[in-house]
Amino acid sequence: MPYKPLYEEDFDVLIEEEVTDDTDSGVPSQLIVYNDEVNTFEWVIKCFEDVLRHSNTQAEQLSILIHTKGKATVKTAPLKELRPKKDALVERGLSAVIED
């Protein structure tokens, strides 16, 4: 005869779910840099080469575009890829934001 307990216990099981970033849908966002009166062309170009891995020519063209238009999209990628790049540019003194 199988063992049968005198009472049954109810208990909750905690299931941990992977936390996802609801703000990153994988849809490309834009990293935008604004013109300022502080940073030199040379510094902005160096930042774009170091942080964004742009070629010297591309970095130069973007810096001129930012200077003449007031802002430019310097990189398009998913949000989670752009965040650290934006933070790195801001740490270097550039005015950068991410927009959808």
Per-residue model confidence as pLDDT tens digits over 64-75? 999 999 999 999
CA dihedral (52, 98, 87, 96) positive or negative: positive
The count of residues in the chain is 100
Domains, in order of start, for the chain = 28-99 (3.30.1390.10)
pLDDT tens-digit series, residues 1-24? 565 555 555 555 454 444 445 455
DSSP state of 4: -
For 55, the 3-state DSSP assignment is coil
Which pTM does this prediction carry? 0.75
Q: In the predicted model, what is the mean pLDDT of the chain?
A: 85
